[in-house]
Every structure is written in C-alpha cells, then in structure tokens.
C-alpha cells in the first residue's frame, strides 16, 4: 500500500480525458469491423510526431490480405483541442469537440469514404449485397 504521506497526486485524477479526440476515433474504428463482419477492420495508430504532438492515423485494413489504407489523420498537442486534420489533399483545423465531432461524422459519411470502403470490400472479396454502406 502506498504511503499517502508521500502521494502528491490529486485524488480526482482518475482516468482519461473523456473529450480526447482519440477516444471517438477508436469507437468509430471498432464499429467498422462490426458493420462488415471483420471483412474490413479499422484501427487508430498513434505516434508522437514532435514535442508534445500526437498524430492519430485512422487506418482501414483488409485482414485477409494484410493490406492497410490510411483514410485520414489528426494531430493535436497535450491539450485535446485544437485538432488539425488531413483527409486526401485537404487539411483543416478544428477548435472544439463539437467542430471535431461534426467533421468526423461528415468525413466518415462522405462520398469519398464510401468509395474507398466499397473498393476495399471488393478487393477483400465481399459480395455486393454485404457492401451496403
């Protein structure tokens, strides 16, 4: 048992920041695999790209082929916002959780994302009727 006399950490420091952008990305990644019975899977790959800068790549994988496609990535500092994003050749900055959530919803439901997912499903050998997105 730790000696509380020397424990200087605050009692209310009890878990991850619920507004962290990476948590919403991981949730969306887990939903893609369920949606397509793991013919496709998504994951979030996090790396440090500078002092206090985190980059989260949103990857879609075809497990049967060992193929990974990075759909987009986001970056932020130790504070969760602002977030900068790159999707295809476009880039932008999001100042708040609300802006980030709206951007992520629009990006995942965009025509470009649907085209990419359908192409990956075809490469994985999925039948057209299972590719409803």
pTM over 0.75: yes
Mean pLDDT of 65-93: 96
pLDDT for residue 15 is more than 90: no
Helix (H, G, I), strand (E, B) or coil at 90: strand
Alpha carbon of 106 to those of 16, 25, 87, 99, 100: distances in Å?
26, 13, 11, 11, 10
Q: Which residues pair with 69 in a beta bridge?
A: 60
Alpha carbon of 86 to those of 24, 64, 75, 83, 132: distances in Å?
17, 27, 9, 10, 26
In angstroms, rounded to a whole number, what is the distance separating the alpha carbons of residues 57 and 21? Answer: 12
Would you kindly state where each structural domain of the chain is located, as residue ranges? 28-123
Per-residue pLDDT tens digits for 19-63:
889 999 999 999 999 999 899 999 999 999 888 999 999 999 999
């Amino acid at each position: 048992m730790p000696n509380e006399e020397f424990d200087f950490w605050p009692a209310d420091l009890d878990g991850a920041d619920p507004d962290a952008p990476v948590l919403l990305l991981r949730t969306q990644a887990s939903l893609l695999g369920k949606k397509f019975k793991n013919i496709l899977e998504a994951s979030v790959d996090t790396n440090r790209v500078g002092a206090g800068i985190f980059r989260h790549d949103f990857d879609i994988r075809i497990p049967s082929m060992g193929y990974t496609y990075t759909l987009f990535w986001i970056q932020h500092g130790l504070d969760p916002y602002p977030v900068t994003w790159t999707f295809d050749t476009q880039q932008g900055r999001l100042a708040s959780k609300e802006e980030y959530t709206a951007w992520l919803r629009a990006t995942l439901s965009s025509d470009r994302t649907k085209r990419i997912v359908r192409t990956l499903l075809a490469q994985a050998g999925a039948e057209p009727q299972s590719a409803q997105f």
